[in-house]
Amino acid sequence: DAGITQSPRYKITETGRQVTLMCHQTWSHSYMFWYRQDLGHGLRLIYYSAAADITDKGEVPDGYVVSRSKTENFPLTLESATRSQTSVYFCASSDGYEQYFGPGTRLTVT
C-alpha cells in the first residue's frame, strides 16, 4: 500500500526491555522523522534522517536509537524502556517541505 505505515500500532512492554518500533514509507522520501506526543508537550522530535545512513538527534533523543539502512525504513529502538517513554510515537516522511505522518504507535511501559 502506498503511504507511510507504522507497526505495531499498540505495544505494552516492561521496564528494561528493548523495543523496536517500525516505520515504512513508499514515497521514496529522503527525509524521515520520529516524534513522540505527550499531553502538555505536543509533538517533540526524537531523531531524524536526511537519507539512508544519515541520522541526527532531535529535541529528546536520550534512550532512543535509530538506524536507516534503506531509504524506505526508519526503525526506532528503545534500548532499555522506562516508564517515562510511555507515549504515542509518530513517524513522518518528507520530500523536503511537507511532512506526512504515519498512524502512530501507542507504547505503554509498565
Partner 1 sequence: GQQLNQSPQSMFIQEGEDVSMNCTSSSIFNTWLWYKQDPGEGPVLLIALYKAGELTSNGRLTAQFGITRKDSFLNISASIPSDVGIYFCAGQRISGGSNYKLTFGKGTLLTVNP
Q: Considering the rule CB under 8 A, would residue 59 count as an interface residue with partner 1?
A: yes
Binding track over 8-47 against partner 1, x by CB under 8 A: -----------------------x-x--------xx-x--
Q: Considering the rule CB under 8 A, would residue 50 count as an interface residue with partner 1?
A: yes
Contact 74, 51 (CB under 8 A): no
Stretch that binds partner 1, among 18-26, 61-69, 70-78, 88-96 (CB under 8 A): 88-96
Per the structure block, which three cell numbers stand in for 3? 503511504
DSSP SS3 for 83: helix
Distances (CA, A) of 1 to 5, 15, 27, 103: 9, 34, 10, 14
The DSSP call for residue 39 is T
Q: Considering the rule CB under 8 A, would residue 102 count as an interface residue with partner 1?
A: yes
Q: Are strands 87-94 and 99-101 parallel, antiparallel or unpaired?
A: antiparallel
Q: Which of 100, 107, 108, 110 binds partner 1 (CB under 8 A)?
A: 100
DSSP SS3 for 77: strand
Residues that bind partner 1 (CB under 8 A): 31, 33, 42-43, 45, 48, 50, 56, 58-59, 90, 92, 94, 96-104
